[in-house]
Structure 1
């Protein structure tokens, strides 16, 4: 971020950029940064004057530094102000030789070709002896680069700007916005050391609480988790006299237990207790001496349980010949779905030329069920690959693994045929 010299650095860098271009295009042209007073009061006889007439908070960055203080008033982070700067660039010169118009064309060309204030331009400005007062500027270290964009001002807006200058004649002008300048406070915030060991908190009586780092299928860390998967739970301090795993609202004893890993076959959980979608898992150490105590619990970790389609049934088929079909499709899956979960049916036609694809939401349900009903309409006749998505958890498709098959390594099921 940049310090209090940022605004002045932008103005000085803009002045140097325009000066380098104008002195080539118009002989004797110079660039000033004074208030547009009457001729002879600081504005050039031939040249351009840059005047910062407005500064406004940048709406995209204005709240990016929240929060800056803790409840006790100490700094949490350095406060940062985000500003957009608005410049009025006025052109002066011999009207007979159209010098103001030539200068305006040079300004527009230069800022359109080089709209970004580069770090090299900022370093060159700071190193210029003319701007020795900007030596401590750190605008070049700002994350967001400064960009110049023309501002469209109507006659009324230009009139309002020039009216604030007493007895100052109007000059050919254009407005530019410089965005964004991030000015950071010099206050030094305080930050505590990071937590070295999450079990070393002196306020808890359970210093040996289990910690779960990750959960994945025994088939592989990237393999999907389904109802028949065996979960591997990795962590630390997992082993205990009474180690239990809580998932799907019930507690189970893992099949294998060690201090760093637990194995839990999901097939041992009643199907009605498992729901597709995101599940919460915890490791619990039951305490013998505390009958009414829940025990020592680990952190909760999320896993995504993906459904599998068991059976597909179609009924109430309507439509003949080439007409689009409507029908009612019932899916039976291996997991329970609650009334609050969102269920979507995905159909993809098995075809090599312009295959059709459809999405249908399930009908509403009043109770938990493993049977899902979908009303299909305007569906093209054909064979379709079927998937069901429950709260973002999508069922798997079958892949042909026979090297001798013509559909080797292609999806082959489950399918639904709409005659």
Structure 2
């Protein structure tokens, strides 16, 4: 959150960012912050004008309580207001030399690269002698991210905005929104003391299990993959018959106690594992008799899902991220010769099933220290679930590439050389693919 100078600081950052770009693209162009009616009155022959024409409350942030957040070396404040800023960015210049259109292209490119307002951008603006009046601004301390995004406005909507600028000739323009700017009050926040003791009460679900943490057995910050063992921590986890439900599958943990459960993911059917965010619940089951019918039997796998139990008490649903692992790579088609850019089809096999509706992205990073190339490619639509997927890549520089795959936001890991005596110790060594 920030003080009353936040709005002016965002405008100054926008002005300084655009000035650095357009002065290289159109000689003599300047960025101004005037009312549209004042364009041409002492302004440069060509340039960009930024006008803040509307401020709007950001309902989502205003309905969220952030009083407990502390800024750097300051106390939390009782009140805060979240705002979105709406800017009209107009361009003008020599129409014969298409200067307005060149300037608009420069603006769009610059704000595409600078969509997120970084802390260093704010600090550089505040240290600029042209903005001495903003020296007391503390926008750089704001925790919430600030973005510049173009607004999709029709010609009719754009005309309505310009109509409020009475008798002002229209100039080629685009509207941008900056979100979110948090302005806080000056009164410190207060919070009552917690309840010291509670009287006797009957909780309707006093025995309900509670999950507080899910991690890999190898470490809290280690990735969870298909062969990981989950460490599930919480309260009241042990029941007469304790099961763990992941998606639509229910399995039995390998170790059970009141505060911890262990679950090797290999106990789940292979086809049921999906990369991405998974939902896990602890289930306390009540046992029911098994029908005594001739020939009745259950396999070891079927016994894990406890079909002869009925659900008694279910915990909260807790998420964890299951990351895929690449187990095989192959380049099936390559087109291009000598120094030409290549087109290829890369087949990736993972240790989990990739559903047809999951979003898959292939990530390539050239294995070199001199100007390494990097590429992202989206997988095409698929009609079946499979552990293998083929992604077509285009305009790729020939060379060796580190390969990662991202499935619904869950990204595979690169292998690191663990050998102390190896020249590549501590560096990435795979998986890689050659595109030649």
Q: Same-fold call, TM > 0.5?
A: yes
Paired with 2:312 and 2:233, the residues of 1 have a C-alpha distance of 20
Matched, 1:244 2:239: no
Q: 3-state SS of the aligned residue for 2:287?
A: coil
Paired with 2:324 and 2:239, the residues of 1 have a C-alpha distance of 32
Q: 3-state SS of the aligned residue for 1:208?
A: coil
For each residue in 1:320-347, what CA deviation from the matched residue of structure 2 results, as whole angstroms up to 9, or x when unmatched?
1111111111111001122221110001
Residues 284 and 297 in structure 1, CA contact (< 8 A), matched pair in contact too = yes
Distance 1:182 1:232, change over 3 A: closer
Q: Gaps spanning 5+ residues in structure 1: where?
A: 1-55, 69-77, 84-111, 119-142, 144-156, 158-178
Matched, 1:336 2:373: no
Q: 3-state SS of the aligned residue for 1:227?
A: coil
Question: In the alignment, which residue of structure 1 is the partner of 2:320?
Answer: 303
Paired with 1:352 and 1:116, the residues of 2 have a C-alpha distance of 41
Matched, 1:313 2:330: yes
Matched, 1:408 2:418: no
Paired with 2:227 and 2:257, the residues of 1 have a C-alpha distance of 22
Q: Gaps spanning 5+ residues in structure 2: where?
A: 1-52, 66-77, 84-130, 143-164, 166-181, 290-307
Paired with 2:193 and 2:54, the residues of 1 have a C-alpha distance of 31
Report the TM-score when normalising by structure 1. 0.55
Matched, 1:285 2:302: no
Paired with 1:82 and 1:330, the residues of 2 have a C-alpha distance of 47
Question: In the alignment, which residue of structure 2 is the partner of 1:221?
Answer: 220
Taking the TM superposition and a 5 Å limit, the aligned residue runs for 1:21-40 are none
Distance 1:183 1:251, change over 3 A: same
Residues 287 and 293 in structure 1, CA contact (< 8 A), matched pair in contact too = yes
Paired with 1:355 and 1:224, the residues of 2 have a C-alpha distance of 26
How many corresponding residue pairs?
A: 266
Report the TM-score when normalising by structure 2. 0.53
Distance 1:196 1:373, change over 3 A: farther
Paired with 1:242 and 1:353, the residues of 2 have a C-alpha distance of 59
- How far did residue 65 of structure 1 move? 5.2
For each residue in 1:31-82, what CA deviation from the matched residue of structure 2 results, as whole angstroms up to 9, or x when unmatched?
xxxxxxxxxxxxxxxxxxxxxxxxx9963479865599xxxxxxxxx99999
Distance 1:298 1:274, change over 3 A: same
Distance 1:66 1:380, change over 3 A: closer
Paired with 2:57 and 2:265, the residues of 1 have a C-alpha distance of 47
Paired with 1:390 and 1:377, the residues of 2 have a C-alpha distance of 20
Pick aligned residue for 1:358 from 375, 399, 418: 375
Matched, 1:393 2:410: yes
For each residue in 1:296-353, what CA deviation from the matched residue of structure 2 results, as whole angstroms up to 9, or x when unmatched?
1000100000000011111121111111111111111001122221110001111121
Paired with 2:413 and 2:82, the residues of 1 have a C-alpha distance of 48
- How far did residue 288 of structure 1 move? 2.9
Question: In the alignment, which residue of structure 2 is the partner of 1:41?
Answer: none
- How far did residue 361 of structure 1 move? 0.8
Residues 246 and 284 in structure 1, CA contact (< 8 A), matched pair in contact too = yes
- How far did residue 182 of structure 1 move? 6.1
Residues 311 and 333 in structure 1, CA contact (< 8 A), matched pair in contact too = yes
Paired with 1:322 and 1:57, the residues of 2 have a C-alpha distance of 52
